[in-house]
């Protein structure tokens, strides 16, 4: 089955090995571009109880691919959506996305978007909805 890797709207969990590898690489690149600590990357991926931070290099290098369970597919959709929205919000300076994620936002009661994202699905959805107003239309 073909997976849409660039489209954050739908992600099938029935992926070929090649699709899993590409999607794993894309997720690792996004999280690296956001300049997150390894432990935070695992938390955002909801893999903190499954993987150790020191093992992430195998996924970044392409030696291993993430197991795209229902939970992982849901997190992947949110990460891709947030990344796409950050690209739209900051089209001329991609580096600013990593800065914005770590700055307090008044709308989030002076918490950083990263703090919300690390708190779980509801926090990730809040950040995504804040960046992409069309997400609220779908809820």
List, for residues 55-109, the tens digit of each pLDDT value: 999 999 999 999 999 999 999 999 999 999 999 999 999 899 999 999 999 999 9
How far apart are the C-alpha atoms of 15 and 96, rounded to whole Å? 32
Place of tokens 């020191």: 54
CA distance from start to end of the chain? 27
Q: Would you say the pTM of this structure is higher than 0.85?
A: yes
Comparing 133 with 58, which gets the higher pLDDT? 58
Question: Taking a C-beta distance cutoff of 8 angstroms, is the pair 98, 35 a contact?
Answer: yes
Is residue 12 very low, low, confident or very high in pLDDT (cuts 50, 70, 90)? low
Question: Taking a C-beta distance cutoff of 8 angstroms, is the pair 98, 83 a contact?
Answer: no
pLDDT tens column, 30-53:
999 999 999 999 999 999 999 999
Longest CA–CA separation in the chain, Å: 43
């Amino acid at each position: 089955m073909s997976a849409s890797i660039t489209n954050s709207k739908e992600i099938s969990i029935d992926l070929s090995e090649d699709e899993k590898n590409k999607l794993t690489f894309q997720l690792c690149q996004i999280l690296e571009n956001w300049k997150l600590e390894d432990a935070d990357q695992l938390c955002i991926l909801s893999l903190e109880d499954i993987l150790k931070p020191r093992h992430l290099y195998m996924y970044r290098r392409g030696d291993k691919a993430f197991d795209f369970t229902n939970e992982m597919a849901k997190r992947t959709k949110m990460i891709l959506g947030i990344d796409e929205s950050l690209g739209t919000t900051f089209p001329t300076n991609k580096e600013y996305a990593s800065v914005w994620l770590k700055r307090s936002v008044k709308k989030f009661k002076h918490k950083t978007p990263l703090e919300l994202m690390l708190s779980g699905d509801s926090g990730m959805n809040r950040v995504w909805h804040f960046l992409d107003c069309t997400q609220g239309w779908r809820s």
